[in-house]
């Protein structure tokens, strides 16, 4: 289901293209960490990325051609976003799907060139991030076992497909070239894609299960599930002394990124979906003001006729959808601004620290913490830029 040219208007396509470019850039940095991080990698880091990500992309490309018969002549195929995210990690997943879509667009005329950004955003970024966010959250909550990985991959891939459909509808509502009633489109798209999602979830779960059964160490989402090595000493099982604390064994669960993604997903769900059902009547203060006639003097806000005024998107008649959309845009904007400020502050902070102690000492100290090792490299690079 690749979006062709002319489906989404030019400005929104361009915006989606920028978002996709940002996601690919983040994916390029993240994939180096994910693919270079396994215990076997040793000193190899960045140069592992290209061959491994390339082969995973080839796998995604091939597995999309594997037909799964549904009934009487019809068959479906895997979309692969959730599968890639669980098997190789979210950033490599985004990167691989983006490369597959780029190549399909250029080589096979599958999906319009101007719609490339839309396709990457919807099928790559949204699918992978939703799937991996849910997967990570469930794996943390559920007991540490193989069964919970199975459950988590089922739920994650089930949710990722309608989420992509909803994201497409959102883009269509903002930049669609025809005024199809948005609620109708949303109902139809999400309804159909829940069905597709069930198929995707069944296949993804079975595939992840098959990989875990043979090479559990390859499944990114199941890292940290490996049982500690036991030695049999005099008929009793004793914990073996770990040879080297593998930094990859500590999953990304502790990093701030996961917290960030989970928080963002929750905020978006709250803003986009739950606000459908929020009360449209004014809050307590406004109600009192209206009852008492205080608000007669209240001046309209300077931004009252902005496109997002009163928590609704102008031009959309459906109050619920309009509210949800405005909420989602608001959350997105807030997160962008907040992240920008945070990043700027952190950069300056890093530059100040960089003047003091030597780089190696700090990186070494962080290594001891384990998880910090990856951050150390990143911070080091950033410090050098800043200095």
What is the nearest approach in angstroms of another protein to the Cβ of residue 176?
Answer: 9
What is the nearest approach in angstroms of another protein to the Cβ of residue 231?
Answer: 29
In which residue are the tokens 């959250």 written? 137
With binding defined as CB under 8 A, does residue 61 bind another protein?
Answer: yes
C-beta of residue 64 within 8 angstroms of C-beta of residue 203: no
For another protein, the closer CB: 66 or 341: 66
C-beta of residue 276 within 8 angstroms of C-beta of residue 325: no
What is the nearest approach in angstroms of another protein to the Cβ of residue 317?
Answer: 11
With binding defined as CB under 8 A, does residue 17 bind another protein?
Answer: no
Among 23, 96, 171, 321, binds another protein (CB under 8 A): 96
For another protein, the closer CB: 114 or 275: 114
Among 50, 274, 280, 285, binds another protein (CB under 8 A): 50
With binding defined as CB under 8 A, does residue 381 bind another protein?
Answer: no
With binding defined as CB under 8 A, does residue 103 bind another protein?
Answer: yes
With binding defined as CB under 8 A, does residue 193 bind another protein?
Answer: no
Contacts of 20 (CB under 8 A, 6+ apart): 98, 116, 117, 120, 121, 124, 125
With binding defined as CB under 8 A, does residue 66 bind another protein?
Answer: yes
Contacts of 157 (CB under 8 A, 6+ apart): 82, 83, 86, 131, 197, 200, 201, 204, 205
Among 18, 22, 106, 242, binds another protein (CB under 8 A): 106
Neighbours of 17 (CB within 10 A): 17
For another protein, the closer CB: 152 or 268: 152
Stretch 207-226 residues interacting with another protein (CB under 8 A) = 207-211, 213-215, 218
- Taken in order 60, 142, 267, 221, is the CA torsion positive or negative? negative
With binding defined as CB under 8 A, does residue 110 bind another protein?
Answer: yes
In the chain, DSSP finds a helix count (H) and a strand count (E) of 13, 4
Query: For another protein, which stretch binds (CB under 8 A), given 63-71, 144-152, 153-161, 234-242?
Result: 63-71
Among 7, 91, 132, 168, binds another protein (CB under 8 A): 7
Q: CB-side exposure of 181: number of CA atoms within 13 Å?
A: 7
C-beta of residue 253 within 8 angstroms of C-beta of residue 224: yes
Q: Which residues of 143-163 are buried (b: 16+ CB within 10 A; e: fewer)?
A: eeeeebbbbbbbbbbbbbbbb
C-beta of residue 136 within 8 angstroms of C-beta of residue 284: no
Q: Which helix (H) or strand (E) holds 232?
A: strand 230-233
What is the nearest approach in angstroms of another protein to the Cβ of residue 350?
Answer: 24
Which segments of 273-318 does DSSP mark as H helices, in order? Answer: 284-292
With binding defined as CB under 8 A, does residue 181 bind another protein?
Answer: yes
Tell me, residue by residue from 265 to 304, as one string, x for binding to another protein by CB under 8 A and - for no binding. ----------------------------------------
For another protein, the closer CB: 71 or 368: 71
With binding defined as CB under 8 A, does residue 15 bind another protein?
Answer: no
The pairing of beta strand 67-71 with beta strand 74-77: antiparallel
For another protein, the closer CB: 9 or 256: 9
């Amino acid at each position: 289901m690749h979006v062709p040219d002319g489906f989404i208007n030019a400005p929104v396509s361009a915006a989606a293209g920028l978002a996709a470019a940002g996601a690919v850039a983040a994916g390029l940095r993240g994939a180096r960490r994910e693919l270079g991080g396994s215990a076997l990698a040793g000193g190899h880091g960045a140069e592992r990325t290209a061959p491994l990500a390339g082969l995973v992309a080839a796998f995604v490309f091939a597995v999309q051609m594997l037909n799964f018969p549904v009934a009487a002549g019809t068959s479906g195929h895997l979309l692969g976003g959730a599968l890639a995210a669980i098997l190789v990690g979210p950033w490599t997943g985004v990167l691989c799907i983006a490369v597959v879509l780029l190549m399909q667009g250029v080589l096979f005329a599958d999906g319009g060139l101007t719609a490339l950004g839309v396709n990457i955003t919807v099928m790559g970024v949204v699918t992978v991030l939703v799937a991996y966010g849910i997967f990570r959250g469930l794996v943390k909550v559920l007991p540490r076992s193989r069964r919970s990985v199975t459950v988590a991959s089922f739920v994650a891939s089930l949710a990722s497909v309608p989420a992509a459909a909803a994201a497409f509808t959102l883009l269509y509502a903002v930049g669609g070239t025809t005024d199809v009633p948005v609620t109708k489109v949303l109902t139809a798209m999400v309804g159909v894609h829940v069905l597709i999602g069930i198929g995707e979830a069944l296949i993804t779960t079975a595939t992840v299960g098959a990989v875990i059964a043979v090479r559990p160490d390859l499944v990114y989402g199941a890292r940290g599930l490996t049982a500690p090595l036991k030695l049999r000493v005099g008929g009793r099982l004793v914990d073996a002394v770990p040879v080297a604390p593998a930094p990859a064994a500590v999953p990304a669960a502790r990093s701030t990124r996961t917290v960030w993604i989970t928080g963002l997903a929750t905020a978006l769900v709250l803003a986009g979906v739950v606000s459908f059902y929020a009360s449209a009547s004014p809050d307590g203060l406004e109600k009192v003001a209206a009852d008492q006639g205080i608000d007669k003097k209240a001046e309209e806000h300077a931004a009252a006729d902005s496109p997002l005024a009163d928590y609704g998107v102008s031009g959309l008649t459906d109050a619920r959808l309009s509210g949800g959309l405005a909420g989602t845009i608001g959350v997105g904007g807030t997160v962008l601004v907040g992240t920008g400020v945070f990043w700027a502050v952190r950069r300056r902070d890093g530059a100040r620290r960089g003047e003091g102690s030597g780089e190696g000492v700090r990186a070494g100290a962080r290594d001891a913490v384990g998880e910090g090792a990856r951050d150390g490299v990143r911070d080091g690079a950033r410090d050098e830029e800043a200095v």
